[in-house]
Amino acid sequence: MTTYLVPLAIIGGLTTAGVYLLLERHLTRMLLGLLLIGNAINLLILTVGGPSGNPPVRGRTSAGNTTTADPLAQGLILTAIVITMGVAAFVLALTYRSYRLNTREEVSNDPEDIRVSQQSGTEVGEAIEGRLEPDRTRDTDLPDELDALPGHEGSR
């Protein structure tokens, strides 16, 4: 089996750029990262699908090829394109909703997460080292201050 390095380099480049964009805090960059990774996966499926050949229709030939192309790879790619467009539409809807609510596109730290991390004595994103189990000293069935939504403390 002959392996072509150019498609593999393109797949690696698309995946690298996609992961880099997914790690950004702007929603449109995250969307572009998702699309790049989706295209890299489609190219990977096409590369792994085998060599090109005759169309996968019985009795059809193309340019004197002796083998038939694998129709499974083509079907998987078409399905992946539809799923990627659905996810892209969903992320665009989330981006639009976030922009309408916050008038900005950057995803910031949640104030509730900051408050909880300050109560536990750790920074946001910092791992709690040396603790195998969560703290169970406050495990009660009574409503906690974290159970209520902000601004709706007296609604119960």
* 9-66 pLDDT, tens digit each: 999 999 999 999 999 888 889 999 999 999 999 999 988 887 777 777 777 777 777 7
Burial 11-48 (b: 16+ CB within 10 A, else e): beebbeebeebeeeeebebbbbbbbbbbbbbbbbbbbe
Please enumerate, as own/partner, the contacts of 109-115 that have beta carbons within 8 Å and a separation of 24 or more: 111/150, 112/146, 112/150
pLDDT in tens, 75-98: 999 999 999 999 999 989 988 888
What is 1-53+70-125's CATH number? 1.10.287.3510
Domain boundaries, the chain: 1-53+70-125
